[in-house]
Amino acid sequence: MHKVLAVIPVILVTTLVSAAARPPLVTEAQIPGATLRIEVQQPIADKKAAEIVEWLRSASSNISLAYGRFPNPSPRVVVIPTGGRSWGGDSPVPFGRVTRDGEEKIEFFVNPDRPIQEYYADWTATHEFSHLMLPYVRSRHKWISEGFASYYQNILMARAGHYTASEAWQKLYAGFERGRLSRPELSPNEAAAAGIRKARMKIYWSGAAIALLADIELRERSGGRESLDVALDRLQRCCLPSNRSWNGPTLFAKLDSLVDIPVFMPLYRKHADTAGFPDIRPALKRLGVAIENNSVRVLPHAELADLRIDITDGHAPL
């Protein structure tokens, strides 16, 4: 059963000026644990702008399904319109990015011609907002930040009801396969050094695989008391938002200090400098995620079926 978020009304603050010289539409949206400061750049019609603001409220609220609140109490969100004929084609959200320069700002390039229903089915906003659950990770360990966001974009879309559990596992498996087939001669650290243009799939999905392995191990060892959600909850309480950059080992060592049994640094030592791709097949089998002809089938009576259900349903701490 998916959690249902209460709809919180959004008040738009506008200035009445001529359409040719309109400034950005500025508003705030209340979500669990935060107030979004949203700026919708023109030209976007008022009705579509209001719809986009409500979509952002919903997508940012997805992040609270990890541990009950948004990781930054006052992030800035900027919406920039782009036409369907520019890069990104017909995608409703062709591109998003997080910048940290004195504040955490999330920019979304959107195609205002696309129906608002397509925005809700798009994972870009959930991915970008998920980045805020970690501090800025230096580029040589980029697989951690991109990988954890890629993992959470899928499980949080499932928790919010935008994906079924089977769809989430199918998308994760498809991503793992893209990562496994991409640059098999590189380790995650070497892929990060090569850069996004040369090793994108390896960077994103090796990190997502390690996030899944950490989540499973935490849940199994603790009998469900700990999880990746819980570790990131504790990280946020102690250390976020953070004004400094972190390297991978420092971040993973900090996460290990916040849980009962070290999980993150052992995974780092095993995989970060190892060529190839983390072998997630045994873990998927134990979860009851069966693969046949690249299609996922979720088995109800697997060894870790209850743990798998907890991952896609979510149990945010009070």
Instruction: Domain 11-133: give its CATH architecture.
Output: 2-Layer Sandwich (3.30)
pLDDT score, position 85:
57
Fold of 138-313: Neutral Protease; domain 2 (1.10.390)
Q: 10 Å Cβ neighbour count for 278?
A: 22
Give which of 71, 41, 100 is closest to 236, Cα–Cα. 71
pLDDT score, position 21:
57
Residue with the two structure tokens 């999330």: 106
pLDDT score, position 102:
84
Domain ranges of the chain: 11-133, 138-313
pLDDT score, position 90:
78
Q: What is the pLDDT along the chain (318 residues), one digit of tens a residue?
A: 333 333 333 333 333 333 445 788 999 999 999 999 999 998 999 999 999 999 999 999 999 999 999 999 999 999 999 875 555 567 999 999 999 988 999 999 999 999 999 999 999 999 999 999 999 999 999 999 999 999 999 999 999 999 999 999 999 999 999 999 999 999 999 999 999 999 999 999 999 999 999 999 999 999 999 999 999 999 999 999 999 999 999 999 999 999 999 999 999 999 999 999 999 999 999 999 999 999 999 999 999 999 999 999 986 443
Residue with the two structure tokens 């319109």: 81
- Please count the residues of the chain: 318
User: What tokens appear for 184 in the block?
Assistant: 């098999």
pLDDT score, position 10:
38
